[in-house]
């Protein structure tokens, strides 16, 4: 097995649980010490991408859309510009006295935006001589205030180093351009302390989901892997491992058949660190070493048993005779740009058909005319749905069997008051029509992937949560992801062992 003592993830998760007795013990925030939510690169030669955006007026130039904004997407600077903007661009601004808050395409806990985005460009002149005429091979940082790429290392060796860090992943090797997502720990730790690692991973999952969803609409094929040698990739990005760490790699390619071999997830191989900083200890323990780890054995019994152990007494298929397309289909870019997290719900109900299309957008996207979406560790996340305001569906807590979009009743007694309590007393929980919980058998997952599985589970949950939110907003409903909750009380509600991990919560309802 990969990790000699794969318990760091379990210890971290237990140590960062919220409980009613201790939730008020956190020290007050030092607002003067809040880190900036982006890197303000200094450069005289940025590669400006704003003119390719179709907004009227252009938020960066103030101009009306011109010829560049009408340029076709695909593998081009126009396609890359729109992809990056939909993933993590600035889509709004809240003026404030100290400094403005910049709202991004992907939601972030507390508006802290701990993720960073890098771009690695391959030398593709032999295949695509005019692909990126203004973008030399090399490593670039993304500057969101300018919607521009800042050269950090203009050398074809950057892509070669990335391929080596990803153990020769064929998709990464073939991609003319690759996005790399990292997390800057202190941006989130400033507010959420040790639990920040959970938030950083979920937030990174949000922006990854945006890129994967919008890619096909831009005539792009986006790959996904979180299997890489941390030391090599962090060295390429010039990351100080104590402050920032790479989390995911997204190769950007033309439509076609996926290249092989490619790995989305591999077990960690690092020795756990001896440190009192539980966040740093988990990130260190979840590293992959220079030599590629062996793929885990398939057919893990916990994954096979997931769909057989919950709620066989009542089974409701939401697929029926087929679902109408989700309104997000065909307008993903616009939906992402218009997205805002819902701040409050009314007590109105939603329809079972709306809930079905929203859940399908996350789990069976092709059923609602969206494109298939990659995942890191399939079948390791469990999903439960608490229903308190869905027309045609009885109130209760249901296990969701994703393959057939089946709801299987776990318990019939659930109240809005209880759901609000679980979400740290937030009205978003008590007023929602449905609350979706993602959980995992963390011990079984760690046995298979080592401590690194903690990254995979939270990145996957963030992707699912973002698809749920975008699909709900496209339906004219509201949605909000919640990363702060009373962990052990939720496992009690769901009827799963206390040792299992609650990963993420998404609330759905009618906006107030």
Q: How many CB atoms lie within 10 A of CB 6?
A: 24
- Tell me the C-alpha distance between 287 and 111, whole Å: 27
Distance (Å) of CA 99 to CA 93, 102, 145, 283: 10, 9, 13, 31
pLDDT classification of 5: cutoffs 50, 70, 90: very low
Residue-by-residue DSSP string for 354-417: HHHHHHHHHH-GGGGTPPP---SSTT-EEEEEEESSEETS-SEEEEEETTTTEEEEEES---HH
CA 253 – CA 171 distance, rounded (Å)? 8
For the domain 301-509, what is the CATH superfamily, name and number?
A: NADH Oxidase (3.40.109.10)
3-state SS, one letter per residue, for 26-77: CCCCCHHHCCCCCCCCCCCCCEECHHHCCCCCCCCCCCCCCCCCCCCCCCCH
Confidence label for 265 from pLDDT (cuts 50, 70 and 90)? very high
pLDDT tens digit string along 46-79? 999 999 999 888 888 888 888 888 888 889 999 9
Closest Cα partner for 82 from 213, 183, 172, 193? 213
pLDDT in tens, 217-242: 999 999 999 999 999 999 999 998 88
Q: Output the pLDDT for position 3.
A: 43
Say yes or no: domain 46-285 is CATH 3.40.109.10: yes
506 vs 34, residue with greater confidence = 506
Average the pLDDT over 323-349 and give the result. 93
Query: In angstroms, how far is the first alpha carbon of the chain from the final one?
Result: 50
Which pLDDT does position 1 carry in this prediction? Answer: 39
pLDDT tens readout for residues 413-460: 899 999 999 999 999 999 999 999 999 999 999 999 999 999 999 999
pLDDT of residue 172: 97
The per-residue pLDDT for range 447-506, each reduced to its tens digit, is 999 999 999 999 999 999 999 999 999 999 999 999 999 999 999 999 899 889 999 999
Provide the pLDDT for residue 360: 97
Between strands 350-351 and 390-391, the pairing is parallel
pLDDT in tens, 345-394: 998 999 999 999 999 999 999 999 999 999 999 989 999 999 999 999 99
- Portions of the chain given CATH number 3.40.109.10: 46-285, 301-509
Dump the DSSP string for 250-271.
EEEE-SSPPPSS--S-----PP
Instruction: Kindly report the average pLDDT of the chain as a whole number.
Output: 90
Residue at token pair 């993933």: 87
pLDDT at 316: 86
């Amino acid at each position: 097995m990969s990790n000699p003592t794969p318990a760091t993830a379990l210890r971290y998760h237990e140590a960062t649980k919220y409980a009613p007795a201790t939730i008020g013990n956190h020290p007050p925030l030092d607002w003067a010490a809040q880190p900036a939510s982006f890197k303000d690169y200094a450069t005289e030669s940025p590669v400006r991408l704003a003119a390719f955006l179709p907004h009227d007026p252009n938020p960066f130039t103030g101009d009306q859309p011109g010829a560049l904004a009408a340029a076709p997407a695909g593998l081009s600077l126009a396609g890359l510009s729109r992809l990056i903007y939909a993933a993590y661009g600035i889509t709004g601004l809240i003026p404030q006295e100290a400094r403005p808050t910049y709202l991004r395409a992907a939601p972030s806990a507390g508006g802290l935006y701990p993720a960073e985005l890098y771009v690695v460009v391959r030398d593709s002149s032999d295949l695509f001589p005019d692909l990126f005429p203004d973008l030399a091979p090399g490593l670039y940082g993304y500057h969101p205030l300018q919607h521009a790429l800042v050269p950090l290392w203009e050398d074809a060796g950057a892509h070669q180093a990335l391929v080596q860090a990803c153990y020769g992943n064929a998709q990464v090797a073939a991609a003319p351009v690759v996005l790399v997502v990292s997390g800057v720990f202190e941006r989130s730790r400033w507010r959420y302390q040790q639990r920040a690692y959970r938030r950083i991973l979920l937030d990174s999952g949000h922006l990854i989901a945006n890129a994967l969803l919008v890619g096909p609409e831009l005539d792009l094929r986006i790959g996904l892997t979180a299997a890489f040698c941390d030391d090599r990739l962090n060295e390429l990005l010039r990351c100080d491992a104590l402050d920032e760490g790479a989390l995911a790699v997204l190769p950007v390619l033309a439509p076609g058949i996926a290249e092989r071999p490619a790995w989305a997830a591999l077990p960690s191989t690092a020795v756990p660190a001896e440190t009192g900083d539980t966040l740093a200890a988990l990130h260190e323990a979840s590293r992959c070493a220079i030599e590629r780890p062996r793929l885990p054995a398939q057919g893990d019994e916990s994954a096979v048993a997931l769909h057989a152990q919950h709620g066989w007494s009542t089974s409701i298929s939401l697929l029926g005779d087929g679902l109408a397309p989700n309104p997000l289909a065909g307008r993903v870019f616009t939906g992402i740009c218009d997205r805002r997290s819902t701040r409050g719900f009314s007590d109105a109900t939603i329809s079972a058909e709306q809930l079905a299309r929203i859940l399908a957008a996350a789990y069976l996207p092709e059923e609602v005319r969206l494109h298939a979406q990659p995942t890191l560790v399939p079948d390791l996340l469990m999903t439960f749905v608490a229903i308190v305001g869905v027309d045609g569906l009885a109130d209760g807590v249901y296990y969701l069997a994703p393959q057939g979009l089946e709801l299987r009743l776990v318990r019939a007694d659930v109240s809005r008051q209880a759901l609000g309590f679980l979400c740290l007393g937030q009205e978003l929980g008590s007023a929602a029509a449905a609350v979706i919980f993602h959980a995992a058998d963390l011990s079984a997952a760690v046995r298979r992937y080592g401590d690194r599985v903690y990254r995979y589970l939270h990145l996957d949950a963030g992707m699912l949560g973002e698809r749920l939110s975008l699909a709900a907003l496209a339906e004219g409903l509201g949605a909000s992801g919640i990363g702060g909750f009373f962990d052990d009380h939720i496992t009690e509600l769901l009827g799963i062992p206390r040792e299992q991990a609650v990963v993420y919560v998404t609330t759905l309802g009618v906006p107030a």
